[in-house]
């Protein structure tokens, strides 16, 4: 069965594994807990593209047992002892690298890098048994949206091989604003982004996403776009399949969305 592709919010640092008396992260955690479990068929593997790994060329993590990178700072000590011990998926990583190379992209393989928190934090919620082999793909450091959409298109055959492709980031990511200073512009940007993502014409969707920076309040939402670009890979991997807006919530005044393709 063909797997969909997703763009998911990964929260803030290790947010799902700390006390949350106000329930700030409750809805996002519930979404993450269900987006894999609710699929008609369990994926054979995951390919995750995180907003926390950039390289000059697309790089796949092809280690058999990747460690974890606790690439967040100032959190409680127990959050630096979290584990998510899923096996790597070196065969999927090598297949992804081959598909990208066939599409004309320079590719690199890295067996040493661990999974950053854009991978292990949401996946620890989504796949708590850590029993789905997982590979990671970097962003390309130029953050070119059209190139990342094209890379996603190149990776689309993996979906027919049982691989769930996941872009992990945040649809709004401006650490300088929150609450009332963020909500109005965040809502306007989210509506425009969602309209682009869910455009029923796949070619128009790609054009609109490639021009994401022209959307209202785009640079307010993303002073730098590394947390948005995983969406482009997920959208490209979606091919001609329809897109659905599958998650929305306000967190510290930010409007945060998730999308499914196929």
| Mean pLDDT, range 155-159, rounded to an integer | 98
Please compute the mean of the pLDDT values over residues 134-149 and round it to a whole number.
98
Q: How, if at all, do strands 254-261 and 243-251 pair?
A: antiparallel
Confidence at 53, pLDDT banded by 50, 70, 90: very high
Give the per-residue pLDDT at 62.
96
- Are the C-beta atoms of residues 245 and 179 closer than 8 Å to each other? no
Q: What is the pLDDT of residue 49?
A: 98
CA distance 164 to 115: 17
Using 50, 70 and 90 to split pLDDT, how confident is the model at 123?
A: very high
Domain that holds residue 165: 5-261
* pLDDT for 159: 98
For the beta sheet containing 5-9, the strands, ordered from the edge strand earlier in sequence to the opposite edge, are 107-110, 58-61, 134-140, 45-55, 163-169, 5-9, 254-261, 243-251
Residue 255, pLDDT score: 98
| pLDDT confidence of residue 145 | 98
Contacts of residue 144, defined as CB under 8 A and 6 or more positions apart, other chains included, come to none
The predicted structure's pLDDT at residue 190: 98
60 and 113 Cβ atoms separated by less than 8 Å: no
Reported as a pLDDT band with limits 50, 70 and 90, residue 11 is very high
DSSP state for residue 163 in the 8-state scheme = E
Structural domain count of the chain: 1
Burial class of 25 by CB neighbour count within 10 A (0 to 12, 13 to 18, 19+): buried
Instruction: Give the mean pLDDT of 170-188.
Output: 96
pLDDT of amino acid 156 = 98
Mean pLDDT, residues 125-148? 98
Q: Compute the average pLDDT of residues 79-89.
A: 98
Phi then psi dihedrals of residue 126, to 5 deg: -75, -35
Phi, psi of 248 (to 5 degrees): -155, 140
d(CA 131, CA 133): 6
Determine the average pLDDT of the residues in 203-215.
Answer: 98
Confidence grade of residue 82 (pLDDT, cut at 50, 70, 90): very high
CA angle, 167 then 169 then 171, to 5°: 110
CATH classification at residue 161: 3.40.830.10
Spatial distance between the Cα atoms of 61 and 250, rounded to a whole number of angstroms:
33
**pLDDT at position 199, please?**
98
């Amino acid at each position: 069965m063909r797997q969909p592709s997703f763009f998911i919010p990964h929260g803030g640092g290790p947010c799902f594994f700390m006390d949350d008396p106000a329930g700030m992260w409750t809805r996002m955690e519930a979404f993450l807990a269900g987006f894999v479990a609710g699929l008609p068929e369990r994926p054979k593997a995951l390919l995750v593209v995180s907003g926390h790994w950039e390289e000059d060329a697309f790089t796949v993590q092809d280690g058999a047992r990747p460690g974890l990178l606790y690439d967040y700072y100032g959190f409680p000590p127990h959050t630096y002892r979290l584990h998510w011990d899923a096996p790597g998926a070196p065969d999927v990583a090598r297949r992804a690298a081959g598909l990208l190379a066939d599409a004309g992209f320079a590719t690199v393989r890295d067996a040493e890098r661990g999974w950053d928190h854009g991978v292990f934090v949401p996946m620890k919620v989504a796949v708590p048994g850590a029993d789905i082999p997982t590979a990671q793909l970097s962003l390309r450091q130029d953050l070119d949206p059209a190139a990342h959409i094209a890379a996603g298109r190149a990776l689309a055959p993996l979906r027919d091989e049982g691989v769930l492709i996941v872009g992990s980031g945040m649809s709004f990511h401006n650490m300088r604003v929150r609450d009332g200073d963020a909500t109005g512009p965040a809502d306007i940007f989210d509506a425009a982004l969602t309209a682009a993502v869910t455009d029923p014409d796949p070619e128009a969707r790609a054009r609109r996403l490639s021009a994401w920076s022209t959307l209202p309040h785009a640079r307010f939402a993303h002073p730098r776009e590394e947390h948005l670009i995983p969406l482009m890979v997920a959208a490209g991997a979606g091919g001609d399949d329809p897109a659905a807006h599958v998650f929305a919530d306000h967190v510290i005044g930010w409007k945060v969305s998730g999308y499914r393709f196929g």
